[in-house]
Chain A
Amino acid sequence: MRSLKYLWVLSISAFSCIGVDIVEEEMFETELRIVTEVEALKVGETTTLSILYFNETGEQVVVSPIWTSTDSDILDVSNDGLVTAVSMGSAYIKASFENLTDSVMIAAGDETVLTETSRKGTFKGRNNYTVAGDFTLAPNNDGDLVLSFGSNFTASNGPGLFVYLSNSDNSVSGGIELGALKSNSGEQSYTLPMGTELNSYDFVIIYCKPFGVPFGYGKFEE
């Protein structure tokens, strides 16, 4: 019976509890980006510009900017971003929100020229984890944006690996989760949620979600 008093050792395994980790939000520079589907617009036609606004925590937030044109005789823009090519030439369309401004130059001419409709990049490993291969982001036949990994994709095995889009190469704060990594190698694809634009995020991250460790990332080429 004397040894029973030492059975306290059992209590550590039996009654250890789940603790709480407080995660400080990573702070980002606020950012405003104009999204355009055209590089040039045929005189007489219109296109609607939109904006992406990211707050201090990197989250995308819907805001209403002020739209202006540097030459409304060439490109006219309405309060909701509808651009009309009035005459031949080129001009900058500006969007302003609080102290942020972004602008794009659009030509007005004989034909409409669309911007790139896809983006691509290549993975790199972090912390000596293997993450390699190519990826592309492009709309599918239904118009949904789809992130596709190439057949050369490979990643170290890890617990709870997820795919994220982010504006940081080392953090998923403010980014969006596309789902659990489907396979550690080979082709696979992830459909982006509605409302996500082609240029919303600059990085794809392979992230060990339960332990909070990035295994690798890829930057979209400019």
Chain B
Amino acid sequence: MKRVAVIVLVLISVAPTFAGGGWTQEKGKSYWKLGQYFIIANNYYTPSGDIVDITTTGFYSTSIYGEYGISSKLTAIINLPFLVRGTLNRLERPDGTLIEEGDELTSFGDVDLALKYGLFKKGPYVGSVSLTLGLPLGNPSGGRTQLLQTGDGEFNQMITFDVSRSFGKGNVYASALMGFNNRTENFSDEFRYGVEFGAKVKGFWLINRIYGVQSFNNGDDTIIVNNSIFSNNIEYLSYSPEIAYDINDKFGVSVGAGFAFSGRRVLADPAYSAGIYLKL
């Protein structure tokens, strides 16, 4: 679900990447989340994996994420980043003289539509497969410099397999996923993987995620396209803790952060998220 965040400016995912893990929504039930994600970074993992200083760049995304149970086995999912903003800092010398103007871009982001199908449910184990379509509705080239992006300009299709297991009375769970992201417009395809552990302690869900993206490097980053190198052949391995709290049966709030252990062509500073969710 974090395609915009991951692809547009190679941001480290901190939102519910696992999107419910192997579980599907019950028929007629839904989950909605109004989320805010942002990263402000002046460190960058180069293609060799080294970290270098860059001009400070910011990326902010306000989105609505939703899951709806079409049937007990089939869930429709949407991620709608309706307000996405990228910024690039102004550069000045110590005496205040201008080196380079800053830049900014605000627009709609790329939208994800997905269908998740429950493959099995056996005791505490559940498994599902998802097909996610990434619709390039964001702006792949904007701002004064035409370098800022709120979308990558390519239509991608991702197949994901999720397996989850609950423990005890359902207050502890574990999930694992792996997926293949088929990308167009000379972008490299990707293998995605991850694990997630969650436990409810005194009303708080404590969630820990490890998430990785590995590029097949089968694209061509020398071909001129609107998108930058920041959006092709990216790789990273990240850790994203999150705390969620159910205010009542319907409402809850969450905060999270994401840190990249390693990466290539990704921003190297932490990303943060916060949101309010509604279960109907």
Contact = CB atoms under 8 A, between A and B. Distances in A.
Interface of A: 2-3, 6-7, 9-10, 12-14, 16-25, 127-130, 154-160, 183-185, 209-213
Q: Is the interface of A mostly helix, strand, loop or mixed?
A: loop
A22 B97 CA distance: 10
22 contacts: A3-B276, A9-B35, A13-B38, A16-B85, A17-B87, A18-B102, A18-B104, A19-B40, A20-B90, A21-B90, A21-B92, A23-B99, A128-B48, A129-B229, A156-B229, A157-B228, A159-B147, A159-B228, A159-B230, A210-B88, A211-B55, A213-B54
A211 B94 CA distance: 18
A13 to B, nearest CB: 4
B46 A158 contact: no
A21 B47 CA distance: 24
A210 B100 contact: yes
Contacts of A128: 46-49, 264
Given A12-B36, A12-B62, 9 more contacts: A9-B276, A13-B85, A18-B87, A25-B93, A127-B47, A159-B228, A210-B147, A212-B53, A212-B54
Given A18-B102, A213-B46, A23 B91 contact: yes
A7 B34 CA distance: 9
Q: Is the interface of B mostly helix, strand, loop or mixed?
A: strand
B61 interface: yes
Interface in B150-185: none
Contacts of B85: 13-14, 16
Interface of B: 34-36, 38, 40, 42, 44, 46-50, 52-58, 60-62, 83-85, 87-94, 99-100, 102-104, 106, 145, 147, 221-225, 228-230, 232, 251, 253, 264, 274-276, 278
A127 B47 CA distance: 6
Given A13-B83, A127-B48, A210-B145, A21 B222 contact: no
The 9 closest A-B pairs by CB, nearest first: A128-B48, A127-B46, A9-B36, A159-B228, A128-B47, A18-B102, A13-B60, A6-B276, A211-B54
Nearest to B227: A157
Contact of A18 (B38, B94, B103, B276): B103
Given A156-B229, A210-B55, A24 B34 contact: no
B102 A6 contact: no
A212 B88 CA distance: 11
B225 A157 contact: yes
